[in-house]
Chain A
Amino acid sequence: MKPSEIEDLKKGGVVKLKEKDMFSVWVKAICNNMDSLKLRRVAEIAEKFGRGTILFTTRQLPIIPFVHLDNIGLVKEELKKIELTLDRCGARVRNVDVCYDSNICKYAILDPISLGEKLDYFWKQDPGGFKIKISIVGCPKQCTSPRTLGDIGFVANQRNTIKGYDAYLGGKLGLEPFIGIKMAELLDENECINFVKNYCKLIKTEGIEGERSADLIKRVGVNAVKKAVNFNLKEEFNVDNTKCTIKTSEEMLDTLILRIRATNGEVGSLQAKKIAEVAEKYGLGFVHFGLRGSPEIPGVKADFFDAAKGELEMSGISIIDSGVDNLQSCFGSYCTNGIFDVQKLLKKVEKLSYEVGLNNNNIKISASGCPNSCGISFLSDIGYVGVVDPEIIEEKCNGCCICVKACRVKAINIVDNLAKIDKDKCKNCDQCVKSCPFDSIIERLKGIAILVGGTGPHFKDDIDYSSEVKLAEKLIDFIDETQVLRITENIFNLIKEKNRNVSGIIDEIGMQKFKEFVLGEI
């Protein structure tokens, strides 16, 4: 590996995987869209330098897993040939997440793609230092979930005759989830740009290392943050516009968006090529990457639906028109943080959903290998999370403090040169165990937690639809896969019987009764 190649790693977009010398490469997709030509090329790169798989996560862009360290430079060169770059990870401004404009989506009040193109300026200008996720939606259905997944979230809204974006700050999941707080109402695009500019300036001058907008709000207070981000919003601020590869035309009315089933966000390279082809043939020549890890083909005329579906099915690709919504996850067993085999569990859960005969696209199921919540369990009807109960082996601990730093909820203190864990504060994320250089913290207990009743993004006309975000609550933890599947089957049967989402069922019968019904005897 050449020094020039390792220099590339500095800029981010490359994440180490559990397997030795293996990395995932994140490909930037402006406004979460990619034209068919480029997607096909990304699939070829995944075949040549990866293992022929592309991953889609809540980051809403293609990720190529299993690229060997020695090949990262080559992958970057190949991407450059088709004018693609790597996205960023870590403490940086992230790729802006959007949904669709009003030409494609009938619910859209404004054109989030237009705002997304402008806000890409902050991605381009970012010198690094803080993780800033920006998420935009065109209507209050909140398909990109800006209030929980965006440090800065914009939700298009309309009051009387005025249309604009309501601006939120503070959204995040992770160990300490936070629902974004409204900081401004009905902003126009220029005001949104100034809002982001103000926030970036605020966090860079007032922020403490590693701080997210939620942390900043908790530390300095809502009012102080509100005042700072609302400063001089009317100021003329020109940003050089990035152009999203989207083609709009008036023909798009009465068209469909085909959502592709990609369990665990995994799509094989051959399938990705087919999706690209169908998008060219029947759609608009580009593919959109949705929040729940499913690629989407927008702009398919209703008359072509059967032909498009048929062609996809010939290549083993199904669209989400039966069963539950796309089963969404993090990197799971590929990730250095993964506590259990997420992919394996979700495949079994999917099979179970068909066996039970659950046919409700609004039911959302997610899994996250650890409590960092890259799988959006908090926003799903049913969510699975890997958990670990750590224990210190005092004879091995040398009081080096690495675990104290690794613990993100400050649950570890050093007393008499030995680490002590405050179990009331511990979020069971396993970081202390993994970070200890001397193996002096062990996993006393390891298992899966089930969360229930979260409501987040809405993709369809859900009978229990509400624009309010509700985080899922913990049902049970530290159970094994067999117990998980048994409880899941009970929940599936209840959903089928009541024909509503889990949040609605809990509202109807109460959490206590829900627990009694689904847990039975453990």
Chain B
Amino acid sequence: MEEIKIDQKIDLRGVKCPLNYVKAKLKLEELKIGEFLEAFLDDGEPILNVPRSIKEDGHKILNIEKVEDYYKVIIKKG
């Protein structure tokens, strides 16, 4: 896997759909192409919907890791 240096982080725990996606999207707009965003997402609907929508917007999901009761998702801006 390529070397990953996290450029920005966003904690979306407790934020419901589709607001969590919109917040992640706005955060990604602050990044330059090729930079990395780490997002924390709740289990359930958020972890299902948000990575999918982000992928559909042309970004790349590099890793998804379960931490306690939430997920750490690493996104590369496309």
Contact = CB atoms under 8 A, between A and B. Distances in A.
A401 to B, nearest CB: 8
Contact of A10 (B19, B45, B66): B19
A402 B22 contact: no
Nearest to A16: B18
Nearest to B64: A400
A369 to B, nearest CB: 16
B32 interface: no
A331 B70 CA distance: 32
Contacts of A400: 64
A1 B23 CA distance: 10
A126 B12 CA distance: 23
A467 to B, nearest CB: 37
B67 interface: no
Interface string B21-57: 1110010000000000000000111011001110111
A9 B48 contact: no
B10 interface: no
Interface residues of B, number: 24
Contacts, number: 52
Contacts of A69: 22
Interface in A434-471: 434-435, 437-438
Given A9-B19, A406-B48, A437-B51, A1 B26 contact: yes
Chain A interface residue bracket vs B:
20 to 34
A402 B47 contact: yes
A336 B26 contact: no
A37 B7 CA distance: 51
Nearest to A91: B45
A6 B64 contact: no
A6 B56 contact: no
Contacts of B16: 10
Contacts of A303: none
B55 to A, nearest CB: 6
A437 B21 contact: no
Contacts of B23: 6
B17 interface: yes
Contacts of B26: 1, 6
A20 B57 contact: yes
Looking at A10, A20, A398, the one whose CB has the most chain B CB atoms below 10 A away is: A10
Interface of B: 16-19, 21-23, 26, 43-45, 47-48, 51-53, 55-57, 61, 63-64, 66, 73
17 contacts: A1-B22, A10-B16, A15-B18, A16-B21, A90-B17, A90-B45, A336-B53, A402-B64, A405-B43, A405-B47, A435-B48, A435-B51, A435-B52, A437-B52, A437-B55, A437-B61, A437-B64
